[in-house]
Structure 1
Amino acid sequence: MAETKKQQSQKAPLEIPPGWKEPDFTKECNPTGMLEESSFATLFPKYREKYLKECWPLVQKSLSEQGLKAELDMISGSMRVATTRKAWDPYIIIKARDLIKLLARSVPYEQAMRVLEDGISAEIIKIGRLVPNKERFVKRRQRLIGPNGSTLKAIELLTKCYVMVQGNTVSAVGPYRGLKDVLQIVNDCMKNVHPVYNIKTLMLKRELMKNEKLKHESWDRFLPKFKSKNLSKRKQPFKKRVKKEYTPFPPSQPESKVDKELATGEYFMSEKGKVVKDKMMKKVKQAEAEVRRVEKRNEPFIPPEEKPSSSKSEKNKSSTDVDVKQLKAKINKSQRAQVLSAFWESGIGFSAEEEIQTSEVRWGASTSKRIEEVTTRWRDVKRLPGTLSQLGGRGGLVVAPQ
């Protein structure tokens, strides 16, 4: 006996043979029926009244075959299903409850009646509260449908489920495995994951299912791994507070005004002495402010530090040939520009000699020296005319002839 038990434990677990189907639950399985009555009711919106009124006889006929009765109350806007003594399937009332829920959620009668079949179930996914922002919710719901319903059609083909997006809910009818995939796609879509990624994964799984060699292996190496690129970054505060180290001792008491005066000796001073001290402090602050103002004003006039010329550039300059004619023309042009700028900056309406005398008063000795140098240089140049009245300007500058 012990050896036979060991042999049985060493054997592989039993597997469901391919193509095996569970036998249907018929009336012969429960000939006595059910003793108690169970019922479910649900409300439907007003725009569904016309459609339900048209298809309700068909609903009653289908449910009566299962031993159920259905009632439609147009006044209160509700549907009710209940069991009778003829019902033999104890789970059919749950399927009838799903049927009236699907009819209330705008699912067509032909698709809703599939719930009564074995192996088919229904799922109503509430998506209204998954996204708090209304505009973002509408965009993601439309992403689930896709352009011209193409995304929704792809989901239906891969999951073998009928999917209906209506308002704040998504209704799905199909096999249990397909409903599981639909639920994952809808939840991921509301979490800003595009349905295309899940659709691609389902397509790969369907191809892998055909290969019997990969039946007992992991498919993770074949499935794509998508990483979200848009990482939500928390906004950093403008001022970061650094936490101080914890100390069990309380902080020292801040000094009062009297303590500060005692420390500086101001407490023992007279009122007149305090006034004098305040005035002195004001003068010191004013002097410091004036120094800072002068330094700031003189910043543009401070020459920048010149970089030392490299030896390579000097060698290159010495090696190149110099054109004498171009150099003379360049010097003459620069001399003319300097003369014109000097006389323009100087007070127009005076002669050069008068300007040299008055420039020391206006701009200082350095400027007057520059004007004197320019004047002498001007007199040496014989190509220029004796007067500069044709230059125009504010008053017509006159230069003394040689």
Structure 2
Amino acid sequence: MDDTEEDYKESRTIFTAIKDTILFPLKILTSPPLLRTYLRTILILLASTALFATAVVAYTSFYYAYIPVRGIDVPVYLQFDPKLTKFPYGVSNIGWKGEGLMSRQKYDVLVEIELSRSEGNLRAGNWMVGLELRGPAEVTGGVKGMMGWWEEWDVEDFSWGAEAGRKKETVKKGEARMASGGGGAEQGVVLARSRRPAILTYRSWMPELVYTALRLPLYAIGWTQEAETLEITMMEGVEFEKGWRNVPSTLRLEVRSKAVLEIYKAQVRFVARLEGLRYIMYTHRLLSFLTFTTLFWSVEMTLVFLTWGILTLLFGSSLPQTPPDQKIKIKSDPNTPATPKTEPESSDLGTPLSDTSRTFSTPSNQQPLHYSSN
């Protein structure tokens, strides 16, 4: 019987040792210090991910707010006077697509006009193209009055070139004729004005005949037409002052010629000159994105760690601490067998040992130890 109990206890001890060996790494991984480390790591990962997304959104917003639209094409629909008392002109809103101009940004302004190569246009020779950029104005004549419809261009024309936009000229607008009969004289501000010459490309009869003959099949199937597109540079590096009143919102294009020109379509193009940081951000988009996003994210993470450290110092020092002289009581395991005391101390009994018979405690698997003085 005793051998069976000893074998059972030995096998149980071996099983317990194997179980403790297998679960030892798990106990280490689930210890309170490591659990706190896991929690802190998860919080840092979540915070860094959220801050990185914030950095991406911040850079994207900054890019679209800081980088201007590289090219803005504004179509102009020319108005032809049947009585031939006015030169053909057209007024358009620059921000008609929601793409307006920016202040403190240089622009090259070009006018593209597509004309037919008719005999009348070729005989017209040189003719003039005038462009006027106007800022917003408070008007009471309705939309037509604001856009400048029905008004004469009766002021002196001149080109400022690179000085365009640095001076302002006040011109008196004509009366805005509205269908309702209302309207009145208003004052507008001309932010930039330019006037440049234009002419169709000349070719003598022999080159013209060869040019037309080579393209005759294309003319026949309608893939091309006898037209020429002129690109006229009106302003170079024009820059406008800061403020919404100093940025053009409308433009007026006029074509002045002695003969009536046959024009298919016309448009004004604004090409932004990118310099400095804008040029780098536009030409090296991926590198700029990685650099500035990493910079924003690093600043955010630095602030997070500084805040975390300050809060740890403030609230960590206020936690209760165990005095160094206080003894820590360890609770004994009830399954651990008690070790018998062979010679009890005098302090435990209060009196010296005597020859009185007594019984000592022993483990459960052993017989009680009995002492007798006899």
TM range (shorter): under 0.3
Q: Which has the greater radius of gyration?
A: 1
Higher RCO, Cα 8 Å, sep 6+: 2
In proportion to residue count, which structure has more helix? Answer: 1
Structure with more of its chain in strand, by fraction = 2
- Please give the TM-score of this superposition, normalised by the length of structure 2: 0.17
